[in-house]
Chain A
């Protein structure tokens, strides 16, 4: 008995000398945290020398940003593994471990190229894509069928169908995110890109370049027209994701632009529209340059540059584990979060749990990143202000594009 005890004590001492503790931040939306805790347990079983502590964060991306600002500005070595929004890598790059040489270790050639690109700052890879997101179009398949409309392929088709069906049914036509916040920038990028426009390109301001100016104006004019013609409720200037989803889920809108997370909710047993909803790519703009576009969202895993060498090694192991094929499938099945590895979409377990992934695989494949810049917050703010002033009837689209160009040039010389 004494011998066994001695062995146990000795083992514990040896293990605690050689074991290392790392902390990671995590989200807690839906079943996200629960799923992660199980994954972390699996990881620790495989790696008995590493202990992982999970640190849940607030849900809003802005609040998480505030939290990271305090961590990183203070130079604390914890947390070691940081869960990063796609728009942050450029801003936080100086605080993150350079992972460029680990490209093969993380098998990044097997990921969606856009998700890897959004984590590459001036040629340095600073984070590994964990799960992805992209704007998609939700539609009421029952109503489209009832009034004999096809799933819209262009914005004009969507406009016509939404206007007709909404007036006949006495509901809203098309809801999206028009409040002045980050979500508006995502929506604006989709409208602008689908009309063939651009706001920034290769770090330069191109919003008023002759080849893009008219298309940008047309895109913003179209957004405004949706509101003026009441295809979109005027209240859209106060809507974020959840406001739009609540309206759509209550059966009070024909179309909705939202992220994939809404799929499980609008089809939940208590949802009035369960089984009556389809999803597809967002429509194309008019003309030969019109194309489908979806803004890239999602979260990545980076490593705190203040962590010790041993912690960095352990953190890399954890990130490799969490972004592996097996674990991405596990996450997709258990938390409904969209994988960043292409092969994960061919896995029968993923398809069974999320059949809609197959329909919109191309959307994730070709999702477009927002401007990559260390002053992304300032750029996004200017875009929000310019477009919101049009949506609230304070400026004409032409003037909004011109003043946006001026204000962006003050930021990016």
Chain B
């Protein structure tokens, strides 16, 4: 008993230093008007930073953009990922090779793939732009990443391209544990393919789906790199994390004391992610122990 306690101590200390201390410090800082500029008088403002935040049009826009991005990217990734997983679960030649190939987008660092897609979206040389112009979907010369509305869809497309393989992989792992006998029995009873899918595959897959959605939603809610590299948050694509970087890095020494304000934004992002996690875990009956 005591041995176990002593063995776990170093881990607890490490987590305390790296996770809980910064979190506590951030929450504490969020109650102050404060800047890291030398000589700046730290001033306690209570919940004022939070009140200001919800009256800040830039924050509300970023909040909406983040939710929009999360909803559509996770939805599309899930549907495509599920379809991919079902295909990869079937028996066919070279299955191993296809499975490995599908994973390539996931293996490329986001910073690299974002830059790659940025070039493909270029209005003059970009292959995607050229295709869309030729198909008449976009009028000639429309900058994909410089047009409100279109830019966000383009960013979602990059995220879908990158993350669908990951979703497929998770779901594939879930599919593989379903014993074949279940399907055989269903076929003998005369169940259609659709009936087999809704009555066997989906219920058994439910915990896996839950984990997948949690992973993806939490990732999407703090999306930063794709957006920052492709548009830096211009034309209505700024997400909460991009706005937070701007507050905490660009304006950290501002005499207007924005450090506490940025901390408040960090706490709000943390809370939003926490709320989503609880909702998912409740609705999918996932237990932690």
The interface of chain A, by Cβ under 8 A from chain B, is 62, 65-66, 69, 72-73, 91-92, 94-95, 172, 178-181, 230, 233-238, 243, 246-247, 252, 374-375, 377-378, 381, 388, 392, 394, 411
Contacts and interface: CB of A to CB of B under 8 A. Distances in A.
Interface in B243-257: 246, 249-256
A392 B146 contact: yes
Given A73-B36, A180-B234, A394-B148, A237 B143 contact: yes
18 contacts: A62-B250, A69-B252, A73-B252, A73-B253, A92-B253, A180-B232, A180-B234, A233-B141, A235-B122, A235-B146, A236-B143, A238-B122, A238-B231, A374-B253, A374-B254, A377-B254, A378-B250, A378-B251
A233 B123 contact: yes
B38 interface: yes
Contacts of A62: 250
Contacts of A392: 146-148, 235
B146 A378 contact: no
B143 A235 contact: yes
B95 interface: no
A174 B37 CA distance: 42
Contacts of A65: 249-250
B250 A377 contact: yes
A172 B249 CA distance: 37
Contacts of B232: 179-181
Contacts of A411: 256
Highest count of chain B CB atoms <10 Å: which of A180, A247, A381, A394: A180
B222 to A, nearest CB: 18
A281 to B, nearest CB: 27
A407 to B, nearest CB: 10
Contacts of B249: 65-66, 69
A180 B250 CA distance: 15
A179 B253 contact: no
Given A91-B253, A374-B254, A378-B250, 8 more contacts: A62-B250, A237-B143, A238-B123, A238-B146, A374-B37, A377-B254, A381-B246, A411-B256
Nearest to B123: A235
B124 A247 contact: yes
A411 B251 CA distance: 12
**Interface SS of A by simple majority:** helix
Contact of A234 (B142, B251, B256): B142
B37 A94 contact: yes
A92 B250 CA distance: 12
A70 B235 CA distance: 29
A236 to B, nearest CB: 8
Nearest to B146: A237
Task: Give the top 3 A-B pairs by smallest Cβ distance, nearest first.
Answer: A235-B123, A237-B146, A180-B234
A310 to B, nearest CB: 22
A252 B253 contact: no
B39 interface: yes
A91 B250 CA distance: 10
Highest count of chain A CB atoms <10 Å: which of B123, B125, B233: B123
Contacts of A252: 124
Interface in B102-135: 122-125
Highest count of chain A CB atoms <10 Å: which of B39, B124, B141, B145: B124
Contacts of B38: 94-95
Contacts of B36: 73
A52 B113 CA distance: 38
B145 A238 contact: yes
A246 to B, nearest CB: 8
A385 B148 CA distance: 13
A181 B228 CA distance: 11
Contacts of A92: 253
A115 B234 CA distance: 31
A230 B123 CA distance: 13
A94 B39 contact: yes
A92 B246 CA distance: 17
A234 B254 contact: no
Contacts of A172: 124
Contacts of A374: 37, 253-255
B143 A234 contact: yes
B233 to A, nearest CB: 8
A109 B40 CA distance: 34
A48 B36 CA distance: 38
A233 B251 CA distance: 33
Interface in B174-197: none
A169 to B, nearest CB: 15
A235 B251 contact: no
Nearest to A305: B38
A311 B162 CA distance: 49
Interface string B27-44: 000000000111100000
Nearest to A377: B250
Contacts of B39: 94
B223 to A, nearest CB: 18
A178 B38 CA distance: 35
